[in-house]
Amino acid sequence: MAAQMRLVVTFVSHFAAMRFRGLCQKAGWEVELMPVPRSLSSSCGTCASYVPGTAEELLPVGAKEDELELVAREADGGFDVVWRHEG
């Protein structure tokens, strides 16, 4: 069985971060809010580190893309951006 993929998502506001945490908890996903790592700058300074339910899932049901800045995968002591809000 493959190791679980841990992702980090940054937000446009602290409210969006709190809302995202609730969606992850509702879905049964492991999630933790924390300060944004320096290598991933963010408007609000809060990010969520989480493990999606499956490798195919990127965001929990109900997540609003316009509240997100980017989603990155933790890799080799850094991050690889896998999705970025265009707009």
**Any domain includes 80:** yes
**Any domain includes 57:** no
**Any domain includes 58:** no
pLDDT given at position 2: 46
pLDDT given at position 82: 94
Q: How many alpha carbons fall within 13 Å on the CB side of residue 80?
A: 7
Does residue 1 have a pLDDT over 50?
no
Does residue 6 have a pLDDT over 50?
yes
* Domain count along the chain: 1
pLDDT given at position 42: 72
- Tens of pLDDT, residue by residue over 15-60, are 999 999 999 999 999 999 999 998 888 778 999 999 999 988 999 9
Domain that residue 21 falls in:
7-52+63-84
CA–CA dist 77, 41 (Å, integer) = 16
